[in-house]
Amino acid sequence: MELLFVLVAVVALAIFVLKWATNLLSPPPPNEKTHPPSAPNAGTRSGTSYVKKNVEHLPPQMAVSRSQAEASIYLPSEKWDELLVTTDQGLPTLFLQMHDGRLWLTEPSTGLLVSVGNRRLRRMGIWTARVRGVGYHKVAVRNGAFQPGAPVRLLREPDNAYDKNAVAVCSADDDHPAGYINKGMAAGLSKLIESGAPLRAISLAGQSPGEYGSNIDVLAATPAVVEHLLRKWPISTAPV
């Protein structure tokens, strides 16, 4: 009986020693700090397919410095009240210059450009707009001269079925519209035309005869203002 008791004790001790040795030699279970869980499908065919479908088509991102991101060639809005003004003679302080293949209004003290959509320009006697509906008048656009500096005509269309204030834009030697001034600007510009006030209009952006482009920008003002805006052009090459 005593012998049986001794055998049981020996066997129990052996089992305990075996478990202790196994735990000692086994690596600890993973935890979130030392072994973060693997991403689903990582390294598998389905994971690779996901990357190809959702990531690989994206263009590589370019590093942009803070100065590059903040730099702009356009006059900031906080400067409009200060710099978009006229002189004592009623002339705007701006001038026109070529930039990137088109004429731009430029503020001289900063050298920054002013968008054609800036409504402050009207206070200075300058009407600028992008011509609408060019795609519906391709023949007139292709036949007309709309290169930067070319003279253009603004024709009232009081019987226009879509806008009673319609102002058509034509090349200097053609009565066929290449497009129209937007309704918001046409409401005021049409009254100015009907009043008989002298206006001179030129193209800021567009194509030469025989070419077609979808963008035509125009500027209209009194002849004195237009001449003043073109003052930076050399006399021999000034568009007329």
Q: What is the pLDDT of residue 231?
A: 86
End-to-end Cα distance, the chain: 128
Q: What is the pLDDT of residue 150?
A: 95
The answer to whether 167 and 190 have CB atoms below 8 angstroms apart is yes
Instruction: Please tell me the distance from the alpha carbon of residue 237 to that of residue 240, in angstroms, as a whole number.
Output: 9
Residue 206 burial (10 A CB sphere; 0-12, 13-18, 19+): buried
- Which residue has 């030697």 as its token pair? 173
Instruction: Please tell me the distance from the alpha carbon of residue 204 to that of residue 213, in angstroms, as a whole number.
Output: 13
Residue 9 lies in a domain: no
Buried b (16+ CB within 10 A) or exposed e, 46-65: eeeeeeeeeeeeeeeeeeee
Residue 197 lies in a domain: yes
Q: What is the pLDDT of residue 235?
A: 39
Residue 235 lies in a domain: no
pTM of the full predicted structure?
Answer: 0.68
Q: What is the pLDDT of residue 232?
A: 77
pLDDT mean across residues, the chain: 79
Instruction: Please tell me the distance from the alpha carbon of residue 227 to that of residue 119, in angstroms, as a whole number.
Output: 21
* Full pLDDT tens readout for the chain, 240 residues: 555 555 556 556 666 655 655 555 555 554 544 444 444 444 434 334 433 444 344 444 444 344 444 458 999 999 999 999 999 889 999 999 999 999 999 999 999 999 998 989 999 999 999 999 999 999 999 999 999 999 999 999 999 999 999 999 999 999 899 999 999 999 999 999 999 999 999 999 999 999 998 899 999 999 999 999 998 765 334 443
The pLDDT tens digits for 223-237 are 999 999 998 765 334
Residue 100 lies in a domain: yes
Residue 127 lies in a domain: yes
Residue 56 lies in a domain: no
Residue 137 burial (10 A CB sphere; 0-12, 13-18, 19+): buried
- Cα torsion angle, 39, 43, 44, 46, sign: positive
Residue 234 lies in a domain: no
Q: What is the pLDDT of residue 10?
A: 56
Range of the domain at 174: 70-229
Instruction: Please tell me the distance from the alpha carbon of residue 145 to that of residue 190, in angstroms, as a whole number.
Output: 23
Q: What is the pLDDT of residue 48?
A: 40
Task: Please count the structural domains in the chain.
Answer: 1
Q: What is the pLDDT of residue 119?
A: 87
The rounded percent of the chain whose pLDDT value lies above 70 is 67
At residue 120, the 3 state secondary structure works out as helix
Residue 13 lies in a domain: no
Instruction: Please tell me the distance from the alpha carbon of residue 71 to that of residue 93, in angstroms, as a whole number.
Output: 23
CATH number at residue 131: 3.30.70.2330
